[in-house]
Structure 1
Amino acid sequence: MKKNLLSIALLCSGVMLSQPALANAFENGEDAVTYRQAAFQMIRFNLVDINEMFRGNVPYDVERVQRRAEALATLTQLPWEAFTIPGADHASGKVKAALWQNLDDFNQRGEKFAADAAALHEAAQGGERRAIQGAFREFANNCKACHDNYRAD
């Protein structure tokens, strides 16, 4: 029993010591681009689904909106780290050069985007369609504004 505990303790200490090496999951700028593009695709999917319900293109389902809003509250926190990886500014991707020149503004917009998603999630939990729609509009407008300034077509 003592041998098993010692083995587990040694294994755990080895894992803990290796954590700094795993500070991020990116090998290079291209990995960062792949990661952030995947995160934005997931954001897009959830945003479009809610939008289609508000436009009447698919039946409105408050439980589905709640699931999408919950996902957005999580997903909107993910892509920002991938913009800070060395080499990410020279990797391929659909960003304007202005992003790298205005990284502080971009990061502030990212923080607002995540905060807007959290507000959307909170409104969705309340279940009141008008409140959800207002929070969604704010969230979507913030998304578009960032695209206008920093996304290359």
Structure 2
Amino acid sequence: MRKIDLFTSALIAGALIFSGALFSFGVNAAEDSLKVRKEGFEATKKSFGAIKKILEEGGDLSGAAASAQSINAFSKQVPALFPAGSDKGETKAKAAVWSNGADFGVKAQAFEAESAKLVQAVASGDKAAVQKQFGAVGGTCKACHDTYRSE
């Protein structure tokens, strides 16, 4: 197994174990989802920043692998992080997330698909492909935020 594959496996396993542990302690699913999604979106923002910096400074693209993997791992969790009741508390999510779940799901799937392509582009070492795919992933974020996030 390549190092990237091991990292991804460990990241996903850790997230699943952490989520399972929280639910086994009786943490409210809606409150937990809100916390996990806030942390996940913040980590995703930082990962985007790290990739952007590498692209702008001409750094070694292999340094973007962990960030791309992190974005993709989180993208897979997004649909489950908006259960009923998680619209309460400190959230920027608009009510439309819950009232228009089908469209939200389509946008979340696009985020996942495009972030998986970013992982592949980074692995290829082709800077032009990474730049193009970085923009495509950013476009999925914008499409969702335009409809489902308050600023």
Q: Structure 1 residue 34: deviation in Å?
A: 0.7
Instruction: Tell me how far apart the structure 2 counterparts of residues 118 and 101 of structure 1 sit (CA, whole Å).
Output: 27
CA contact (8 A) 1:124 1:132 kept: yes
Corresponding residue for residue 66 of structure 2: 67
Corresponding residue for residue 12 of structure 1: none
Instruction: Tell me how far apart the structure 1 counterparts of residues 77 and 51 of structure 2 sit (CA, whole Å).
Output: 20
Q: Structure 1 residue 82: deviation in Å?
A: 1.7
Q: Do structure 1's residue 107 and structure 2's residue 105 form an aligned pair?
A: yes
Q: Do structure 1's residue 36 and structure 2's residue 65 form an aligned pair?
A: no
Instruction: Tell me how far apart the structure 1 counterparts of residues 101 and 89 of structure 2 sit (CA, whole Å).
Output: 16
CA contact (8 A) 1:66 1:121 kept: yes
Structure 2 counterpart of 1:41, which letter? E
SS in 1 for 2:146: helix
What is the root-mean-square deviation in Å for CA atoms of aligned residues?
2.0
Corresponding residue for residue 127 of structure 2: 129
Instruction: Tell me how far apart the structure 1 counterparts of residues 122 and 44 of structure 2 sit (CA, whole Å).
Output: 16
Q: Structure 1 residue 24: deviation in Å?
A: 7.7
CA contact (8 A) 1:117 1:139 kept: yes
- Mark the runs of 5 or more structure 2 residues left unpaired by the alignment: 1-19
Q: Give the aligned length.
A: 129
CA contact (8 A) 2:114 2:137 kept: yes
Instruction: Tell me how far apart the structure 1 counterparts of residues 118 and 135 of structure 2 sit (CA, whole Å).
Output: 9
Equivalent runs, 1:15-54 vs 2, <5 Å: 25=23, 26-54=27-55
- Mark the runs of 5 or more structure 1 residues left unpaired by the alignment: 1-21
Instruction: Tell me how far apart the structure 2 counterparts of residues 102 and 52 of structure 1 sit (CA, whole Å).
Output: 35
Corresponding residue for residue 97 of structure 1: 95
Cα deviations by residue, 1:19-74 (Å, 9 ceiling, x for unpaired)? xxx698351422211111111111111012112333x2x45221111221122221
CA contact (8 A) 1:53 1:59 kept: yes
SS in 1 for 2:88: coil
TM-score, normalisation: structure 2: 0.76
Instruction: Tell me how far apart the structure 2 counterparts of residues 102 and 48 of structure 1 sit (CA, whole Å).
Output: 30
Identity of aligned residues (%): 28
Structure 1 counterpart of 2:110, which letter? K
4+ runs deviating over 6 angstroms: none
CA contact (8 A) 2:30 2:86 kept: yes
CA contact (8 A) 2:54 2:61 kept: no
Q: Structure 1 residue 80: deviation in Å?
A: 2.1
